[in-house]
């Protein structure tokens, strides 16, 4: 069956384009069809300040990539026939240029796509298709994917609405609460009868753990500001072995959230363990009524650089997009100024419910795809470097502050002793070598320097060692504080880390 995309846009796309133009206040109530007729030169003039040359994406290459993806089974389903062998058809692919460097890619699949996965997890196919196009969309800074199933938007096929997820016993409405969701982790593959990581190793590292490292740094950053940051995976590297037979911190979010006491509707919703894990993260954020959800991921599909995803169908599109724009810009700017001046900015990506991690969050939610696991240089190389991961975490924290996230209770400005104790404790909590602070070791020197107050706390370190962790606060502005210490193994000074 041949599909006429002009008809689809008239039906589903045109109204959205017009209303979004209105939202931006540009008053461009131009129909898509007329926009197509405007010469490229005018499009250039209409979008000043773009450093990238507007380019249309290669629709034939995208179509061919999607066809290739459908002719190979997605990861985890290799024992099945490929989607195309199983009858999933690509009915059509459409690419529209919606702005200087903005595009909409419409991918229409046959209904068989809904049932290809034995348990009905459509995201397996959409992720597989999306990855196949990653290398072809680098020139676009704003891609809206629109998945159709036999001509109807994908989001219409998802169960709706989900049962009320806000019936938990926790206090709701605490300001500033944010869920930090490190993507993936061990899950139980029912059909293979074993535990698997959700992604593959590339040159010695695997996304499941790289995401966790970045999230760990981010949690420390946020907690140092007294922001109520809640991890979706077990934040304690010494929490022991879980049901999977692997460390609890390596396990997917579903198990941690279950152990927190969340109701089954939060962690047991989905086609299989894999999708239950994905869904548990946004449902957890709904349950604890977090202000935002930040999912940390790394990409695949052979591109390079950073992109940030949000969902156009979760009821919080505008704020999600604002959050995505801020965080993506902060990360790219930080990497370019502190690590790699040539780091590619892939910009924003969105879709109509193709990613449950965003879609099911009934609050602003973004997925950060920091770098490509499967591109060795510069991406995979950078992801092996702890300095890179810290830079990214700091940039996300700054982005959250720019967005407007504030501490649940402001740190006491007049009690720097307790602030120093707390901040030192948080700073070392995420380093496996550090154990507990040593009672009675806290010290203060207020005359150490004309500009700075000095405090310290000794911390017990594995191997019967003890490290003095220093804390300095600016006299002129006591919100400016740093922590520094000598690495217990190398004994070299790590430098001063800005903590507020
Ligand atoms: Zn991922």
Q: Ligand 1 mean position to 74 CA, how many Å? A: 14
Q: Ligand 1 mean position to 134 CA, how many Å? A: 13
The full set of domain ranges for the chain reads 5-157, 178-403, 416-498
pLDDT at position 314 is: 92
Q: Lowest-pLDDT range, 20-29, 252-261, 395-404, 488-497?
A: 20-29
Q: Which residue has the higher pLDDT, 215 or 9?
A: 215
Joined together, the tokens standing for residue 19 give 């209303």
Residue 5 has pLDDT above 70, yes or no: no
Q: Ligand 1 mean position to 85 CA, how many Å? A: 26
Q: Ligand 1 mean position to 128 CA, how many Å? A: 12
Q: Which residue has the higher pLDDT, 164 or 486?
A: 486
Residue 63 has pLDDT above 80, yes or no: yes
Q: Which residue has the higher pLDDT, 396 or 479?
A: 396
Confidence band for 413, pLDDT divided at 50, 70 and 90: low
Q: Ligand 1 mean position to 297 CA, how many Å? A: 4
Q: Ligand 1 mean position to 236 CA, how many Å? A: 21
Q: Which residue has the higher pLDDT, 431 or 493?
A: 493
Task: Give residues whose Cβ lies within 5 Å of ion ligand 1.
Answer: 183, 297
Q: Ligand 1 mean position to 431 CA, how many Å? A: 24
Q: Ligand 1 mean position to 210 CA, how many Å? A: 10
Tell whether omega for the bond before 166 is within 30 degrees of 0, i.e. cis: no
CATH assignment of 178-403, among 3.40.630.40, 3.30.70.3400, 1.10.3720.10, 3.30.360.10 = 3.40.630.40
Residue 34 has pLDDT above 60, yes or no: no
Q: Ligand 1 mean position to 355 CA, how many Å? A: 11
Q: Ligand 1 mean position to 384 CA, how many Å? A: 16
Averaged pLDDT, 364-374 = 97
pLDDT at position 14 is: 34
What pTM, to 2 d.p., does this model score? 0.72
Confidence band for 54, pLDDT divided at 50, 70 and 90: low
Q: Ligand 1 mean position to 427 CA, how many Å? A: 27
Q: Which residue has the higher pLDDT, 19 or 330?
A: 330
Residue 26 has pLDDT above 70, yes or no: no
Q: Ligand 1 mean position to 407 CA, how many Å? A: 28
Residue 40 has pLDDT above 70, yes or no: no
Q: Ligand 1 mean position to 124 CA, how many Å? A: 12
Residue 379 has pLDDT above 90, yes or no: yes
pLDDT at position 342 is: 98
Residue 19 has pLDDT above 60, yes or no: no
pLDDT at position 1 is: 41
Q: Report the C-alpha gap between 58 and 398 in whole angstroms.
A: 36
Q: Ligand 1 mean position to 105 CA, how many Å? A: 21
Confidence band for 427, pLDDT divided at 50, 70 and 90: confident
Residue 262 has pLDDT above 60, yes or no: yes
Averaged pLDDT, 355-379 = 96
pLDDT tens sequence across 332-347? 999 999 999 999 999 9
Confidence band for 397, pLDDT divided at 50, 70 and 90: very high
Q: Which residue has the higher pLDDT, 25 or 321?
A: 321
Distances (CA, A) of 469 to 92, 422, 452, 461, 477: 60, 12, 16, 11, 21
Averaged pLDDT, 137-165 = 85
Averaged pLDDT, 123-151 = 96
pLDDT at position 227 is: 86
Q: Report the C-alpha gap between 150 and 410 in whole angstroms.
A: 52
């Amino acid at each position: 069956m041949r599909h006429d995309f002009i008809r689809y846009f008239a039906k589903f796309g045109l109204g959205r384009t017009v209303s979004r133009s209105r939202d931006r206040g540009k008053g461009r109530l131009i129909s898509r069809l007329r926009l197509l007729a405007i010469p490229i030169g005018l499009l250039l003039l209409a979008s000043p300040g773009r450093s990238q040359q507007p380019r249309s994406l290669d629709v034939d290459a995208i179509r061919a990539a999607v066809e290739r993806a459908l002719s190979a089974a997605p990861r985890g389903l290799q024992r099945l026939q490929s989607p195309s062998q199983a009858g999933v058809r690509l009915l059509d692919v459409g690419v529209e240029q919606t702005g200087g460097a903005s595009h909409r890619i419409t991918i229409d699949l046959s209904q068989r796509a809904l049932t290809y996965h034995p348990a009905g997890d459509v995201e397996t196919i959409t992720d597989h298709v999306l990855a196949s196009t990653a290398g072809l969309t680098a020139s676009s800074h704003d891609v809206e994917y629109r998945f159709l199933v036999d001509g109807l938007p994908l989001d219409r096929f998802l169960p709706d609405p989900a049962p009320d997820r806000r019936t938990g016993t926790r206090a709701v409405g605490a300001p500033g609460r944010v869920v930090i969701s490190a993507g993936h982790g061990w899950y139980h593959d029912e059909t293979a009868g074993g535990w698997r990581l959700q992604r593959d190793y590339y040159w010695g590292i695997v996304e499941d753990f790289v995401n966790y490292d970045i999230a760990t740094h981010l949690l420390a950053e946020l907690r140092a500001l007294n922001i109520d940051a809640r991890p979706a995976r077990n934040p304690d590297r010494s929490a022991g072995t879980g049901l999977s037979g692997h460390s609890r911190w390596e396990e997917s979010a579903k198990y941690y959230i279950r152990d927190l006491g969340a109701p089954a509707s939060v962690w047991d919703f989905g086609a299989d363990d894999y999708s239950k894990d994905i869904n548990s993260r946004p449902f957890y954020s709904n349950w604890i009524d977090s202000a935002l959800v930040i999912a940390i991921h790394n990409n695949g599909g052979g591109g390079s650089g950073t992109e940030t995803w949000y969902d156009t169908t979760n009821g919080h599109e505008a704020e999600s997009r604002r959050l995505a724009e801020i965080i993506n810009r902060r990360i790219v700017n930080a990497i370019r100024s502190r690590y790699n001046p040539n780091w590619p900015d892939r910009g924003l990506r969105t879709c109509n419910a193709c990613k449950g991690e965003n879609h099911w969050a009934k609050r602003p939610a973004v997925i950060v795809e920091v770098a490509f696991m499967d591109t060795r240089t510069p991406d995979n190389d950078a992801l092996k470097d702890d300095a890179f991961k810290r830079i990214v975490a700091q940039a996300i924290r700054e982005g959250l502050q720019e967005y407007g996230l504030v501490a649940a209770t402001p740190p006491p400005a007049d009690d720097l002793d307790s602030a120093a104790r707390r901040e030192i404790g948080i700073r070392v909590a995420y380093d496996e070598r550090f154990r507990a602070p040593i009672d009675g070791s806290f010290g203060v020197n207020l005359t150490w320097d004309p500009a700075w107050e000095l405090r310290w706390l000794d911390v017990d370190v594995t191997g019967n060692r003890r490290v003095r962790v220093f804390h300095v606060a600016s006299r002129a502005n006591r919100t400016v504080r740093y922590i520094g210490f000598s690495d217990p193994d190398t004994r070299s000074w790590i430098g001063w880390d800005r903590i507020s």
